[in-house]
Amino acid sequence: MTTSDAHLADLSVAELARRTTEKEVSAVEVVEACLDRIAERDPALNAFSVVLSEQARAEAAERDRTLAAGETPGPLHAVPIAIKEEIDVAGCVTTFGGRANTTPVDTDGEVVRRLRAAGAVVIGKTRMPEFGQWPFTESVDGGYTRNPWKPGHTPGGSSGGTAVAVAAGMVPVGIGGDGGGSIRIPSACCGLFGLKPQRGRVTTAPMEHLWWSLGTVGPLTRSVLDSAIVYDVIRGNTATDMFRAPEPATSFAEAARAEPARLRTGWSTRSPIKGLRPDKAHVEAVHATAQLLTDLGHDVVEVNPRYPDATLAFVPQFFAGVRTESDAVEHYDRLEKRTRETYRLGSWVRPGVVRWALRAGEKVGAKANRVFEDVDVLLTPTIAHRPRKVGVLDKGGTVRAAVMAQPMIAYAALWNITGNPAASVPAGIDADGLPLAVQLVGRLNDETTLLSLSAQIEAARPWTMPVLERP
């Protein structure tokens, strides 16, 4: 199938913006194609919590009118986009994956405002576990969200609804969040590219922060360039942001289109969590990617990162994040039983403890970043174990859920503490029929190197999306 005869919902961000800008296809046609795909595929996968059909049609019609009137189109002109439940969309309830809020918000969050200003059309909101606590997209209110490659398995989380919407061809791009791997983990499970940006790269407004130093916002996409294009729209700060990142040397899209320099790449399959062994398939994916990078002309060596223990920096911020968001909901009694247990277990996390955890995180970051004295990029698995079957959160409380989460966050969460950019890059399909992935971690403030290198890997080892049969 050529690009010219591809289904509109399968086209890239870049190609959709080009076609609609050049009036080869209308914004209304693009949105209708995505709405048709959602109606066809989402009942079996449960990616969306809300589909904004009429609003999206009206927004698309407005995009067509402004283009016909001669206005300059934005870089995301007419691109349908899905938004994770934790991000404000005007007229929608910000549910955080639960049912404790009932009042729609009046205004878009700053990221959504920027997306619309760039021409994107918001088509719906996507499912997540309550408050994004777990790397499995399951909740009492929303049920199971299913992996489009094998619907009996989890798509990961917490941005699992977004990942499924993109991987299943319902939208070309979706926005997620990453407080411990929540962009990278579902990207790995669903065969997408997912970059966690440098801390402070993307505004968190109207919130000052997302779980203090842990949380970031960003896209999940089917290509590296698509991610870069969206990041160029949403990156940058407001006066209220607690964390900030310096401007990159080039735009992200420019970086994604550029050939990387010869890089010193260190690889390691050792887990940052002691005693946790990665699945053989993930070890082999790292080895295969290391060989690919060698063949591409990079200097590739095995390294021992000497990971510091990030527990005392991560856990207080996790509890504080859940407690802060729980305190802000309209109906605390409607929170899930497990969430209320998490709230109680975190009662010891007072403001002074959070400040202590932030200082501890700075020390962890200094130790973890020593690996970059010898290499430019670190290559690891993205997740330790293969994606589990759905129903992971059916039994037990907070402690059991945390234990089940460890293999999913093992390689990812450290880099939320340090703030480094890190990306999950597809690495083929395992014998179990589910995607494989590797993680690339960059120096502080160096997303551009990760984008260039990831795009080079994509060109040398193209990845595919699942083939879904009509129900």
The pair of structure tokens assigned to 170 is 């319902």
CA–CA dist 41, 300 (Å, integer):
42
389 is catalytic: no
Q: Which of 158, 213, 223, 452 is catalytic?
A: 158
367 is catalytic: no
196 is catalytic: no
What burial letters (b/e) apply to 47-74, b meaning 16+ CB within 10 Å? bbbbbbeebbbebbeebbebbeeeeebb
For residues 36, 42, 48, 52, the Cα torsion angle rounded to the nearest 10 degrees is 20
Closest Cα to residue 376, out of 470, 289, 452? Answer: 452
- Rg of the chain over all Cα atoms, to the nearest angstrom: 21
Termini Cα distance of the chain: 22
CA–CA dist 153, 457 (Å, integer):
27
Count CB atoms within 10 A of the CB of residue 359: 11
Whose tokens are 């402004």? That residue is 66
Q: Which amino acid is at 236?
A: G
Q: Which of 182, 227, 271, 326 is catalytic?
A: 182
Q: Please state whether beta strands 80-84 and 173-178 pair in parallel, antiparallel, or not at all (unpaired).
A: parallel
Strands (E), 225-370: 264-267, 299-302
Q: Which of 26, 49, 84, 159 is catalytic?
A: 84
Active site residues: 84, 158, 182
